[in-house]
Amino acid sequence: MASNPKKLYTPEEYLAMEREAEYKSEYFDGEIFAMAGASEEHNLIAGNIFASLHSQVRKHGCRAYTSDMRIDMSKKGLYAYPDVVVVCGESKFSDKHKDNLINPKVIIEVLSKSTEAKDRGFKFMRYRKLDSFVEYLLVSQDKVNVEHYVRQSDNRWIMTEISSLEDTIKLSSIQCELKMSDIYEMN
| Rg over CA atoms, the chain | 17
* pLDDT classification of 37: cutoffs 50, 70, 90: confident
Average pLDDT for 56-65: 95
* pLDDT classification of 2: cutoffs 50, 70, 90: low
pLDDT at residue 1 above 80? Answer: no
All domains of the chain, ordered by start, with CATH? 38-183 (3.90.1570.10)
Which residues in the chain belong to E strands, given as ranges?
25-28, 31-34, 62-65, 70-73, 78-80, 84-88, 100-101, 106-111, 135-140, 146-151, 157-162, 168-171, 176-179
For residue 168, which amino acid is it?
Answer: T
pLDDT tens digits, 144-186: 999 999 999 888 999 999 999 999 999 999 999 999 999 999 8
Average pLDDT for 53-74: 94
| Model pTM score | 0.93
Q: How many CA atoms lie within 13 A of 141 on its CB side?
A: 22
pLDDT tens digits, 73-120: 988 899 999 999 999 999 999 999 999 999 999 999 999 988 899 999
- DSSP letter, residue 143: S
Closest CA to 118 of 34, 44, 10, 41: 34
Contacts 24+ apart (CB under 8 A), 60-67: 60/88, 60/174, 60/175, 60/176, 61/88, 61/89, 62/86, 62/87, 62/88, 62/89, 62/105, 62/174, 63/87, 63/88, 63/91, 65/101
pLDDT at residue 16 above 90? Answer: yes
What is the Cα 79 distance to its own chain's centre?
11
What is the SS3 assignment for 105? coil
Q: By CB neighbour count within 10 A (0-12 exposed, 13-18 middle, 19+ buried), where does 12 fall?
A: exposed
**21 Cβ contact partners less than 8 Å away, ≥ 6 residues apart:** none
Q: How far apart are the first and last CA of the chain?
A: 54
